[in-house]
Amino acid sequence: MKLPATGVHFLLVLMVCCTHSLALLEFKKSIIRDPNELLISWNESTHLCSWDGVLCSVRHPHRVISLNLTNRDLVGQISPSLGNLTFLKVLILSASSFSGEIPRSLGQLHHLQILKLNDNMLQGGIPSLANCSKVKELSLGKNQLTGQIPADLPNSLQKLILVANNLTGTVPASLANITVLKIFTCMNNNIEGNIPDEFARLRGLQELHLGKNKLSGRFPQLVLNLSNLVVFSVASNYLSGDVPSDLGGSLPSLKYMSLGGNFFHGHIPSSIANASELNIVDMSRNKLTGVIPSSIGKLQKLFALSFEYNKLQASKEQDWKFMNSLANCTELQVRTVLGNRLQGNVPESLGNLSSQLRYLYLANNHLSGDFPSGIAKLRSLISIELGGNRFTGARLQLDNNILTGPIPSSLCNLSNLIGLYLESNQLDGHIPPSLGNLQTLEILNISNNNLLGTIPKELFGIQTLLNIELSSNNLDGPLHPDIGNAKQLTYLDISSNSLSGEIPSAIGNRERLEDIKLGHNVFSGSVPTSLGNITNLQILNLSRNHLNGSIPVSIVRLKFLEQLDLSFNRLEGEVPTAGIFSNLISVWIDGNTGLCGGQLVRHLRPCSAMHLNSRKNKHFTVQKVVIPLGSIASLAIVKKNVSLPSFGSKFPKVTYIDLARSTEGFSSSKIVVAVKVFCLERKGAQKSFMAECNALRNIRHRNLVPILTACSSDGSSSTLNHITLAQRLSIVVDIADAMEYLHHNHQGTIVHCDLKPSNILLDDNMTARVGDFGLAMFKVDSIMPSFGDSASASSIAIKGTIGYVAPECATGREVTIAGDVYSFGIVLLEIFLRKRPTDDMFKDGLNIVRFVEMNPDRILKIIDPDLLEDERDVSQGTSVSFKEKSLECLASVLKTGLCCANPSPSERMDMQGVAARLHGIKEAYLRGN
């Protein structure tokens, strides 16, 4: 009989079976949480082949061939024992919470075909899988894996997915030996270098996703050999150079192409029209120039097209031909060319675009003429952007459209519209009441135009409306009580108009309102008590109106209120002490002569004594008191009589001696010259200098340093250390004016990027001037922090100065005016506290901003003690009320500083607001009333 043979066979099976169940039980042990109780079936009383997630071979019923536990929320580590499941073909542990490293033992699984460990929290490197010579699919994405992409991946791989890890190093050339590779994605890692030329061999490659890495160098030409490519994405890298002109012709199967967020320049190759399968084309955020090719209309399957934030032009009529041609792209749903240099009237043919078009973004161009009425024909539109600097983080040198004339009432036909952004144009006429038909509208932004007339009450009938932004127009008349019907309204900004009448009490019905900004109007009457019913209110600004009566106590109830500005009205009576009023920093009530009481630290007159003291101290004059301001040593004054060297395109070679000689040893002066010192050793110094000259060429403001030169050694600077409160106020006002001018001048926005005390210079009259635009123009040239070529990379990586740079700028790539506002806030706090943001006391999470925030009632304790001395001297023989005035002034100033240095960029005021506010504070202080 054949018994012995069967016996052997049987024993062998038993052995495999035990190994497998032991390995799985070992795996179970390393799971510390199993919320779905999945592994409950895994016990010795049932056969392992019936365990949940386990699959055995049909022919050899004791061999585990698949372990598939996807999406089970398991918490624990991956036990190395899985390496003993020798016959495993499929191992899937995706979308759980496995941590720790990927066990090396998995490399022993010779039969493995699919290995998916994606969406976990795995760390460490990728183990060698060189012996898993049958693996077709390896999916390790969305973990925290580090190290390099292994060079010895098996040649059987068809799908390699490494997206969203922390992998470093370069793309190994050896990957090109995996000739069956179809999909390679390693988006969102830290991969450097370029795609190896060897990749040209991968003729079967269909998807290549390399976005969000640190790839550099030129456009990878080898890609043109990959004629089966369907997806090609290298978005958000540091690639540069031209986009090859034959791109489209070489890649006939391409459906998705994303080159956005690099440094590509040159023209958009018209050959892309030959890649007739293209669905999605993203070439945004590069430096592309020229016109948009009119062949683009050949892309019949185009769904989304983005050219935004380039330097594309359209000035002549024929440059706009692409618009006619796009009418052939009947599937187009998204079209964005915002942030370019498209000029003049938008052709009527805009209205012939696909009736399916859902998103149309043309903001930040040079569009002029009447509102493109063709838009009203695009019935599927969800969002229209034709505005200007809507983003507080406005990028540099972005242009504004200057559309004029009225808003066509035919827009009311766009019944799917959700967002209508028309801000910062010159639209005039009335707001068409028919916009009230837009029954899905959520955001209406027509701020900063020349609109006239009243706000149509029909708008408030839009039940979906979340944001109404109509600030800075010429709107007048009353605010209709129907505002109380706008159920979803969360943001209302109608400030800086000429709106009048009473603030309707019905506004209190809108509990969802978070921000109400009605400042700079001529509202009269009292502050509605009903405001106290808006439980979600965070910001309430009623400043600079003609409101009278008392502050409603109901406001005290508002738990989430963070900023309350009632300044410059005609309010009178008692200031509450509870709720937000207990926080000195968050409440603005200056410029209301009739207010009294409130918290003691506010130093208002006690309400009962109001009449006795009023106006008594009006004619108080500020005595000059000398105070040292040592810590602001870098507020330097340099006076020189210089014959300026002429500098052409070269960095001027002026030595310290030259400079000293030409200024007669830095002696007497007629011209005040600020000297900026460039460190020539530092890479980028020359570029920085030229950037600065260019930035300054067109910029003129009394508080900006008008011209600069260079010198190769340390300049001479004398420390100023006698600065009174009044002088410090003037200084911050001057700086604010300069920054306002930079941000909001007619030449376009300039971001300074490096505002700090050492960039502020004082002249004889203590007028502050802001200088040092070196960094500013770096940012003009490159929105990204670094170019592809490593030569410039190191210098461009400088982003402001520690302590002064806004939190979001320290890490992010964006340069924003909001970042400048932050730096300004820090400088302001430094000037009044006389503490550097880098002071030793600021550590363990405490910074200068938190320090001020935490001490709202202890202003006297935190400010520069010299200011108190000043105070003491002055108050001897003079009035107590001056001291109160100083305190109130200081409180207001510090509040302004905090508003500027808010960690959240969207919460910061803009420099226009800041400057206006500081002027107000300064005037109030100098008036002394």
Query: Would you tell me which residues interact with ligand NAG (CB under 6 A)?
Result: 19, 22-23, 26, 66, 68, 70, 81, 83-84, 90, 92, 105, 114, 144, 151, 166, 174, 177, 295, 297-298, 325, 328, 505, 508, 529-530, 533
Looking at 373-483, which runs of residues are DSSP E strands?
383-385, 402-405, 419-421, 426-427, 443-445, 452-453, 467-469, 474-478
CB of 273 to ligand NAG, least distance (A): 7
Q: Is 791 exposed, middle or buried (0-12, 13-18, 19+ CB in 10 A)?
A: exposed
What secondary structure letter does DSSP report for 860? H
CB of 592 to ligand NAG, least distance (A): 22
Residue position matching structure tokens 């007629």: 670
Active site residue 754: yes
CB of 915 to ligand NAG, least distance (A): 36
Give how far the C-alpha of residue 179 lies from the chain's centroid of Cα atoms, to the nearest Å.
41
CB-nearer residue toward ligand NAG: 88 or 780: 88
Q: How far does the chain reach from its first CA to its final CA, in angstroms?
A: 118
CB of 23 to ligand NAG, least distance (A): 4
Residue position matching structure tokens 């506004």: 507
Task: Give the separation between CA 326 and CA 425, rounded to whole angstroms.
Answer: 26
CB-nearer residue toward ligand NAG: 440 or 526: 526
Q: For residue 844, give every residue at least 6 positions away whose Cβ sits within 8 Å of its Cβ, in sequence order, or none.
A: none
Q: For residue 178, give every residue at least 6 positions away whose Cβ sits within 8 Å of its Cβ, in sequence order, or none.
A: 153, 154, 155, 156, 157, 160, 202
Q: What angle do CA 722, 862, 569 make, to 5 degrees?
A: 90
Asked if 264 and 219 count as a contact pair (C-beta separation under 8 A), the reply is yes
HSE at residue 906, side-chain half, CA atoms within 13 A, is: 4
CB-nearer residue toward ligand NAG: 298 or 395: 298
Q: For residue 12, give every residue at least 6 positions away whose Cβ sits within 8 Å of its Cβ, in sequence order, or none.
A: none
Helix residue ranges, H only, 511-631: 610-613
CB of 318 to ligand NAG, least distance (A): 14
Helices and strands counted in the chain (H then E): 16, 51
Count CB neighbours of 702 within 10 A: 11
Q: For residue 776, give every residue at least 6 positions away whose Cβ sits within 8 Å of its Cβ, in sequence order, or none.
A: 691, 692, 695, 750, 751, 752, 753, 754
CB-nearer residue toward ligand NAG: 167 or 890: 167
What secondary structure letter does DSSP report for 517? E
Asked if 356 and 382 count as a contact pair (C-beta separation under 8 A), the reply is no
Residue position matching structure tokens 């005016």: 817
Residue position matching structure tokens 């706000």: 455
CB-nearer residue toward ligand NAG: 68 or 158: 68
CB-nearer residue toward ligand NAG: 209 or 298: 298
CB of 107 to ligand NAG, least distance (A): 11
| Three-state secondary structure string covering 259-285 | CCCCEEEEECCHHHHHCCCCCEEECCC
CB of 163 to ligand NAG, least distance (A): 11
CB-nearer residue toward ligand NAG: 26 or 884: 26
Task: Give the separation between CA 528 and CA 277, rounded to whole angstroms.
Answer: 60
CB-nearer residue toward ligand NAG: 183 or 777: 183
CB of 901 to ligand NAG, least distance (A): 25
Total length of the chain:
929
Asked if 219 and 235 count as a contact pair (C-beta separation under 8 A), the reply is no
CB-nearer residue toward ligand NAG: 298 or 743: 298
One-letter amino acid for residue 550 of the chain: S
CB of 213 to ligand NAG, least distance (A): 12
Residue position matching structure tokens 């109404």: 468
HSE at residue 687, side-chain half, CA atoms within 13 A, is: 17
**Dihedral (Cα; 13, 15, 21, 24), 10-degree rounding:** -110
CB-nearer residue toward ligand NAG: 63 or 728: 63
Q: Which of 34, 565, 737, 754 is catalytic?
A: 754
Q: What angle do CA 651, 655, 656 make, to 5 degrees?
A: 130
CB of 201 to ligand NAG, least distance (A): 8
Q: How would DSSP label each residue in 703-715?
A: TB---EE--SSPP
One-letter amino acid for residue 549 of the chain: G
CB of 101 to ligand NAG, least distance (A): 14
CB-nearer residue toward ligand NAG: 21 or 543: 21
CB of 689 to ligand NAG, least distance (A): 35
CB of 298 to ligand NAG, least distance (A): 5
Asked if 325 and 295 count as a contact pair (C-beta separation under 8 A), the reply is yes
Asked if 13 and 62 count as a contact pair (C-beta separation under 8 A), the reply is yes
Count CB neighbours of 541 within 10 A: 21
Looking at 244-390, which runs of residues are DSSP E strands?
256-258, 263-267, 280-282, 287-289, 304-306, 313-314, 334-336, 341-344, 359-361, 366-370, 383-385
CB-nearer residue toward ligand NAG: 254 or 775: 254
Residue position matching structure tokens 């365990």: 51
| DSSP helix/strand/coil, 99 | strand
| 159 φ/ψ angles, rounded to the nearest 5 degrees | -130, 120
CB-nearer residue toward ligand NAG: 108 or 816: 108
Active-site residues, by number, are 754
